[in-house]
Amino acid sequence: MPIVRSLVVVVIAACLCSVVLLGAVLAAEAAPATATLAKRPDPALAPVEDVPGLPRVLLIGDSISIGYTIPTRELLAGKANVHRVPMNAGPTTRGLQQLEKWLRPGPWDVIHFNFGLHDLKHVDEAGVAVDAAKGHRQVELQAYRDNLRAIVRRLKQTGARLIWCSTTPVPEGAKGRMPGDELAYNAAAAEVMKQEGIEVNDLHAFATPRMAKLGKPADVHYTAQGSRALAEVVAQRIEAELPKPR
């Protein structure tokens, strides 16, 4: 009997070791797939290969513009090569830092651009997003106005047709932002655009009465249907500014 018990113990131990080893092997095989999935780039940020002979368009903006990038490309297929900056353009401070990189390689026929939601976002002293009742706006209004004017003047040097896109609504409960702040920032931007003679795509006016249908609750972002609706407005405004075929 002691011998039988010993054999049973050995068999159980061997089975347990096999299970552990199998689990380790499966985990090792799954790890690369998980890592690959995590690194998969957003298709909206992928480089675009130009169709020869079509005008070149550049989209500059935050995650709202990332959401409408692909449907805008689809709507302008055969009419324009629609590129975008390869990241979330964030606040105007990032725009000033990255603009020279974003503009290469040119030339551009139309540039559709926006900054705002990340400027008015509340952050702490370390720059980390916090509740709207705490911290301070990432870029205060006067600095936003000055930064935007500097960005516009650099964009004008490209010779492209410029379209400013107003900042979309901040709904109640949106983390890190105060509803209504976008109105003040849009007013400052409208002042700059008027002074600089820039066309305005008032996406805020379009989205405001449609937020319940197109937006997400307590969130500045949009559903897929919402992003498609924004894209239709964006594509229409861009198409109107495309150079006429010669």
Whether residue 50 sits in one domain with residue 35: no
Whether residue 215 sits in one domain with residue 117: yes
**3-class secondary structure, 109:** coil
Q: Provide the pairing of β-strand 136-137 with 122-123.
A: antiparallel
Whether residue 162 sits in one domain with residue 94: yes
What is the CA 5 to chain-centroid distance, rounded?
A: 65
Does residue 246 lie within any of the structural domains? no
Q: Is pLDDT of 23 > 80?
A: no
Q: Check residue 134 and give its pLDDT.
A: 85
**pLDDT digit string (tens) for 46-76?**
999 999 999 999 999 999 999 999 999 999 9
Q: Is pLDDT of 7 > 70?
A: no
**pLDDT digit string (tens) for 219-244?**
999 999 999 999 999 999 999 999 98
Whether residue 7 sits in one domain with residue 57: no
Domain of residue 4, residue span: 1-40
Beta bridge mates, 162: 111
Average pLDDT over the chain, rounded to whole? 88
Whether residue 123 sits in one domain with residue 235: yes
